[in-house]
Chains A and B, each alone.
Chain A
Amino acid sequence: MDTAQIMGLVTGILFGFLLQKGRVLRFEKQVGAMLLKDMTILKFMLSAIIVGMVGVALLSDAGVIALSHKPMNVGAILVGGALFGAGWAVMGFCPGTSVGALGEGRWHAAFGIAGMIAGAALYAELYPLMKATVLSWADLGKIGLPETLGVSPWVVIIVFIAVALGLFRWFESRGL
């Protein structure tokens, strides 16, 4: 294994460990969030995001790390995001959690993983068609929210954290 592979493996083991400890790998947690009955995965994701966004902003302000926005390709994000949401609800796992679910013994995740490999192969086959249609509608490029709004990243971060903390309070008060 080269350095990149070893680093990926170590990071993945820690990531998988934390996903499992947070109990977010489970079908009932994923579907529970979509049924608005169990907000465990939202608590987990928002906590990761608010900690991560502060660190990423500090390191990129200091010029240590580079940001790498994914393009805001309107058709791709809207149509692709909708398809993902629909498939996610039925499968009950997202790509990262499916592998972790298999690791904690939920072997039905393997069918979802097989489906996702097939879906990736299908996408590769249809890529030229996608490029000529959905992907070419309107690409706004690799944009960040602060530049788009014309504000400092810290304004966005502070507002985001305030909203997340408000949501946490609400989840806890409702026993979600």
Chain B
Amino acid sequence: MVFLNRHARRPAAQGFGSQSFQEGTRMQSNRNDGGWSPYLAGALVGVLAILSAYATTVWLGKTTYLGASTTFVRGAGIIEKQVVPERVEANEYFTKEKVKVDWQFMLVLGIFAGAFIAASTDKSFKLEGVPPVWKERFGPSVGKRAAAAFLGGIVAMFGARMADGCPSGHGLSGMMQLSVSAFVALAMFFGVGIVVAAMVYGRRK
């Protein structure tokens, strides 16, 4: 609880290299924007994860943990099925992961809905085509941002499927279960993320 109070009183972070970054953060750490302490919101996600593990065990007969990245495989399979169904049928990976709208697929759709509900009820919903931090570094071009996000998305998902999880599956669920793979995966995610972020966004104008 001490952290919640400290957080609420804490002024905006100091020492930011980029002006817009500082502005953006100051705005978002402002308690008046309707946001909750990340400690509180995070702890509630912990409670949700426990309840969900319990509920899926009781009602679905199999303990199911929060995750997101497998849904992108199923999404790709569902789209490909419209065009080349026999190719999906013959693909070993699609067969392994089963192309269907399952619990996790609905979870991911639910994240969209839940975020929309939270954002529209506290007026933090904002249409944004280029994030301010990106704009400061690379300019206002939507095309540039779109191309980078698309390419970054390909690499990230390729990696997540290889590692068999993302910051939800490894980062939250794997860590909660004290899986060795989660500790190593999370270290790689952040370790390489820190290096690449410094290379991409680090240079000052």
Contacts and interface: CB of A to CB of B under 8 A. Distances in A.
- Asked if A and B are interacting partners, one says yes
Interface of A: 1, 3-29, 31-38, 40-41, 43-53, 55-57, 59-60, 64-73, 76-109, 111-125, 127-128, 130, 134-135, 140, 142-146, 148, 153, 156-157, 168, 172, 175-176
A47 B49 CA distance: 12
Contacts of B169: 70
Interface in B158-205: 158-198, 200-202
Contacts of A119: 72, 153-158, 161
Interface in B93-137: 93-94, 96, 101-119, 122, 124-134
* Majority DSSP secondary structure for residues of B touching A: helix
B162 A130 contact: yes
B114 A12 contact: yes
B148 to A, nearest CB: 5
Interface residues of B, number: 150
B149 A19 contact: no
A123 B97 CA distance: 12
A120 B76 contact: yes
B155 A71 contact: no
Given A76-B164, A84-B185, A105-B125, 18 more contacts: A7-B56, A32-B133, A49-B176, A51-B42, A51-B47, A52-B45, A53-B178, A80-B188, A83-B162, A86-B159, A96-B166, A109-B149, A111-B149, A114-B150, A115-B151, A125-B91, A130-B162, A134-B162
A83 B115 CA distance: 27
15 contacts: A7-B55, A12-B111, A12-B112, A44-B45, A60-B177, A70-B179, A81-B184, A85-B189, A89-B200, A90-B149, A91-B148, A99-B108, A103-B113, A111-B147, A127-B91
B201 to A, nearest CB: 6
Interface string B14-31: 111100010011001100
A97 B63 CA distance: 23
A81 B21 CA distance: 27
A85 B192 CA distance: 5
Contacts of B104: 8
